[in-house]
Amino acid sequence: MVHKPVMLNEVIKYLNIQPKAKIIDATLNGGGHTRGILEKYQDVKVLGIEYDPDIFQEFKSESLNPKLESRIIIVNDSYINLRSIVEKYNFRPDGIIFDLGLSSWHYEKSGRGFSFMRDEPLDMRFNPGDKTRTAADVINTVPEEEIEEILRLYGEEGFFKEISKNIVKARKIKPIIKTTELVDVIMNSVPGWYKRKKIHPATKTFQALRIAVNGELENVENGVLMAIDVLKSGGRLIVISFQGLEDKIVREIFKQKAIAGTIKWVIKGTVKPKWSEIKENPRARSAKMKIVEKTA
């Protein structure tokens, strides 16, 4: 699986890993952060959580170094169930890492319509076995006003009214079930100057639908709160986000918990990737890392 872990060196540095530590990788994905930690520390154990069943199976099928395999537990579940996972595996963590970015696998291999550059069914579910409502269900069944709210709140799309209006018009003629059909509607809804911008006109709409389908913002809030709760005192939590809405949620949680004395900032504010990493891995350019330590 081609997926470079973002800011691996910073993750290893700021987790402050001690001998025989237990680390939870709450968003396992291709396992880049997990492998990096296991290879650097010979007596550390990692519990990796991956929600997407296909990514989970792909990781499971890869041949790991036997020395690494004996020190990793992988779980096909969501990090919103972190507390029950910790209890089930008796795995009280000294550190937790969240990498909230969408995987390159989702864009390139999932076939679920995450990319507006591909002709695929409008699905967008991270776990098709768990979530029933697809992106196609959303845009073909919910009222126009609700589509407006989704695009405005989750995509911060300036042309949310125009796009929503044209979605409703188009679906009356024929259900919108493919990514290319939705892109056509968006392109017919925005002015020429918007089409010439660096960012593709469909970017924000696709982001908004994905967030709505998967309940991403609620999951981030619940998952981060639970992570603070299950961490050992003195343990560290790292969250890497890639878009402003998630980053804002994490920042507010950390701010309130710091005021309450539950955590303290390891680095006040945000850590961003070095230019050398961005050149090698353009995906890293929008990454924002926040690090806290549990004090109580």
d(CA 23, CA 37): 9
**Cβ–Cβ < 8 Å for 226, 83:** yes
CA–CA separation, 285 and 272 (whole Å): 8
Q: Which amino acid is at 221?
A: E
Binding site residue list for S-adenosyl-L-methionine = 31-33, 50, 79, 99, 106
**Crossing angle between the packed helical segments 8-15 and 32-40, to the nearest 10 degrees:** 50
CA distance 234 to 92: 12
CB of 105 closer than 8 Å to CB of 56: no
d(CA 154, CA 117): 20
Q: Per the annotation, where are the binding residues?
A: 31-33, 50, 79, 99, 106
Half-sphere exposure of 10 (CA within 13 A, CB side): 22
Instruction: Say how far residue 28 (Cα) sits from the centre of its chain.
Output: 10
